[in-house]
Amino acid sequence: MMRYLHEDNRLTRLFRELRRMGPALIISIGVLYVHRAGLLAPNDPLLLVAHRAALATIGFCVAHIVRQPAFPYLDLKQEMHRENVGAMVMIGMIYLAFILGCTLGF
């Protein structure tokens, strides 16, 4: 059991990222629940904006969790920002694809 909780393990990284993004995920899921359950009027402008923001937040969280194991060589450390602009553009495009997919797909 202890080898699965080692610091370099992907499962440990996943749990750490879920814990770090937990409040945003909880708020987003709450907004989605309010929207889908019909607790507020479906044409309320505030609810529509909050619904799209919640979908974008979930898309960002999914992109962040998927990017790390899929592209481990694309690291977000400070040294890379100055050296490799192409990698930063690629990371931005990955995040953009997930955010747009979640926002426009639902």
Q: pLDDT digit string (tens) for 3-47? A: 555 556 777 877 888 888 889 889 999 998 998 898 888 888 888
**Tokens linked to 12:** 């440990």
pLDDT above 90 covers a percentage of the chain that reads 20
Give, as one character, the DSSP assignment of residue 95: H
Kindly provide the b/e burial profile for residues 33-42, where b requires at least 16 CB atoms within 10 angstroms of the residue's own CB. Answer: ebbeeeeeee
Element (H, E) at 59: helix 45-70
Burial class, 22, CB count within 10 angstroms (exposed 0-12 / middle 13-18 / buried 19+): exposed
pTM confidence score = 0.73
